[in-house]
Amino acid sequence: MPIEDIDMAAIFQQVFSICRKHNLIVPNNITLLLKSMVTIEGIIHDLDNNLTIMSAVCPYTKPLLK
């Protein structure tokens, strides 16, 4: 699966679900960051159904991962 096709909102929801299930406390700043990313992902999807946050960020992050 190409990284551009990863659904970040679904991943964040799974992370929150796992944390609740295991009574883990996520720091407030991380919670706010993840909620903001889900909101941004939703706005991007509303503007362009074919665009994801991962496809927008990948050109900038791929050189950093090499």
Count of alpha carbons within 13 angstroms of residue 19, beta-carbon side:
13
Count of alpha carbons within 13 angstroms of residue 10, beta-carbon side:
5
Report the C-alpha gap between 64 and 60 in whole angstroms. 8
Q: What is the pLDDT of residues 36-50, one digit of tens each?
A: 988 888 888 899 888
Torsion of the alpha carbons at 32, 44, 52 and 65, rounded to the nearest 10: -50
Q: What is the DSSP letter of 24?
A: P
Show Cβ contacts of residue 2 under 8 Å, excluding neighbours closer than 6 positions. none
Q: What is the pLDDT of residues 7-58, one digit of tens each?
A: 777 888 898 899 999 999 989 998 898 889 888 888 888 998 888 887 888 8
